[in-house]
Copies of this chain bind each other. A is one copy, B any other.
Amino acid sequence: MTYSIGQVADRLDISPYTLRYYDKEGLLPFVDRNAAGRRRFKDNDFNFLEVIVCLKEAGVPVKQIGNFIDLCMTGDATLQDRYDFLAEHEANLEQKMARLQHTLDFLRWKKWYYKTALQAGTERIHYLPGTNQVDPAVHAEFEQLVADGASPKALGELSFK
């Protein structure tokens, strides 16, 4: 069974343009061509494509993905390199997710900030008296609620009175 570039594009939810671009960049050396020069993807090719999509999602630049594919085409001598490559990007991704968790926490605290302002009808409730500067104690108040067991996500929900 083989698949045209359009069929693969549909299945992976990627445009044919993008697939050809990846091919040009050396990411698809495993793809066969028919007599007329058209790409014929095999079932096994999806194993590679899955890896490419995964590494893209992990934020690995196209060129580096190309390096990895090169290792794959070289054979058993590169097994350790391929393992190391994946281990490195696993670590990178773990760090990125930890950063994003902090970002999400921050977003939730700001949501709570606006929820409480909204309920008061004005942002001034968060300002130091007589100024337009945010009172640092406001953040501390939020942190205290969390420390007392409240869910940061629920605290910011408007339905949560």
Contact = CB atoms under 8 A, between A and B. Distances in A.
Interface in A76-101: 76, 79-80, 82-83, 86-87, 89-90, 93-94, 96-97, 99-101
Interface string A110-152: 1100110110011110000000111000000000000000000
Interface of chain A, main secondary structure: helix
Contact of A93 (B58, B93, B104, B115): B104
Interface residues of A, number: 46
A58 B114 contact: no
A82 B114 contact: yes
* Copies of this protein chain in the complex: 2
Among A90, A117, A153, the one with the most B-chain Cβ atoms within 10 Å of its Cβ is A90
Nearest to A43: B133
Given A82-B114, A86-B114, A118-B83, A106 B54 contact: yes
Interface of A: 43-44, 47, 50-51, 54, 57-58, 75-76, 79-80, 82-83, 86-87, 89-90, 93-94, 96-97, 99-101, 103-104, 106-108, 110-111, 114-115, 117-118, 121-124, 132-134, 153, 156, 158
